[in-house]
Structure 1
Amino acid sequence: MTATTTFRERLYVTWWIWPLPLLAAALLAAEVHMGFPGVRSWLPYVILLPLTVVLIVRLGSTKVEVSGGELRAGDAHIPLELLGEVEIIPVEDRRRTMGRDLDPAAYVVHRGWVKPLVRVRVDDPQDPTPYWVISTRRPEELAAAIKS
């Protein structure tokens, strides 16, 4: 039996974050290049630049998915029957939601470059987490998938 996926999104790092780490890797490679002549002079570029790209992609992406009766966000998952109210946080309320109104016990999957947020209440009396806050580029679709 195959699990039905009703929503899937991968939150990648946006393009404007890439230049700074790549520039830093290029500068580090240039410093090593200046100290070694010959074949070893180009080796730091071959190692550091692809390694930086891999790190940005690997560490900067996370998956949000509603599949097989569960909500998965980052490394956590919870059955849909344990979820309550689903609220789409307007972009103008994002700062307040992630700041003074955030419960320290909440589970948060937040990416600063993804503006829309969805807050999902947890209705499990054994779970100390009051709600999940999830960044998503498609909040209406995620809310509909959780409610269905």
Structure 2
Amino acid sequence: MTRSDPQPHYSERLGVPAAYWGIALFFGLSFVTAVTFMLGELILLVSTVATVGLIAWTLLAWGSLRITVDADGVRVGPSLLEWRYIGTVAVADRAVKARVLARDDAFLGLRPYVTGLVLIGVIDEADPHLCWLVSSRDPEELVRAIEDNRPSGVTEPAEHSRLDSGE
């Protein structure tokens, strides 16, 4: 694997499910209709278009989180964790999620509509993040992609992560 390899080895976009669109549009348009109905057709039309635009912009932005594993490392949105700083990687359960969320030094790439979680240890002492906790629709596949694409010169650390040591 070389750094000139343009193809990601794993890519996932955590788009918002259709149910969220339906709920947001139902409540947003119900509110706008109730509030502006008596103010005239023009205000109702402008308010409806503005509300649909705001809802679409919000849900598209919220659902644009992309996770990729490529030659440079693991990317979550605009953030990159380079290979040399990636420690232990594992599928996280509820207990691990609770431990990580109780701390303020974890990088979170979470979406509430995605139940799978992956914990990525950070082995850079200068990094303010203890670990990355990332949502994934297929956490086992994400862990496998990270482990399978870890460069040969970069090995997994033998020591426990700072999360396990209670720091």
> TM bucket by the smaller chain?
0.7 to 0.9
In the superposition, the TM-score normalised over structure 2's length comes to 0.75
> For residue 39 of structure 2, what is the amino acid of its counterpart?
G
Q: From the superposition, tell whether residues 66 and 39 of structure 1 become closer, same or farther in structure 2 (CA, over 3 Å).
A: same
Q: Which residue of 1 aligns with 2:158?
A: none
Report the counterpart of residue 89 of structure 2 in structure 1: 86
Q: How far does the alpha carbon of each residue in 1:46-98 deviate from its partner, in whole angstroms, 9 at most, with x for none?
A: 33223312221112331111123221113311101211111112xxx32x323
Higher strand proportion: 1
Equivalent pair of 2:16/2:62 in contact (CA under 8 Å): no
1:11 alignment counterpart: 14
Point out 4+ residue stretches in structure 1 off by more than 3 angstroms.
38-41
Q: Does 1:53 align with 2:56?
A: yes
Q: Which among 8, 25, 29 is matched to residue 28 of structure 2? A: 25
Task: Say if 1:107 and 1:129, in contact at 8 Å, map to a contact too.
Answer: yes
The total of aligned residue pairs comes to 142
CA contact (8 A) 2:15 2:60 kept: yes
Q: Distance in 1 between matches of 2:75 and 2:106?
A: 15
CA RMSD of aligned residues (A): 1.9
Mapped to 2, the partners of 1:20 and 1:54 lie a distance apart of: 15
SS at match of 2:9: strand
Separation in 2, partners of 1:128, 1:55: 29
CA distance in 1, matches of 2:137, 2:48: 34
State whether residues 33 and 42 of structure 1, in contact with CA within 8 Å, keep that contact through their aligned partners in structure 2.
no
Gaps of 5+ in 1: none
Q: Is the 8 A contact 2:116 2:139 kept in 1?
A: yes
SS at match of 2:140: helix
Question: Match of 2:119, SS?
Answer: strand
CA contact (8 A) 1:80 1:146 kept: no
> Identity across aligned pairs (percent)?
25
Alignment correspondent of 1:135: 135
5+ long unaligned stretches in structure 2:
150-167
Secondary structure of the residue aligned to 1:4 is coil
After superposition, the Cα gap between the structure-2 partners of 1:27 and 1:4, relative to the gap in structure 1 and judged at 3 Å, is same
Corresponding residue of 1:77: 80
How far residue 23 of structure 1 moved from its aligned partner, in angstroms, is: 1.9
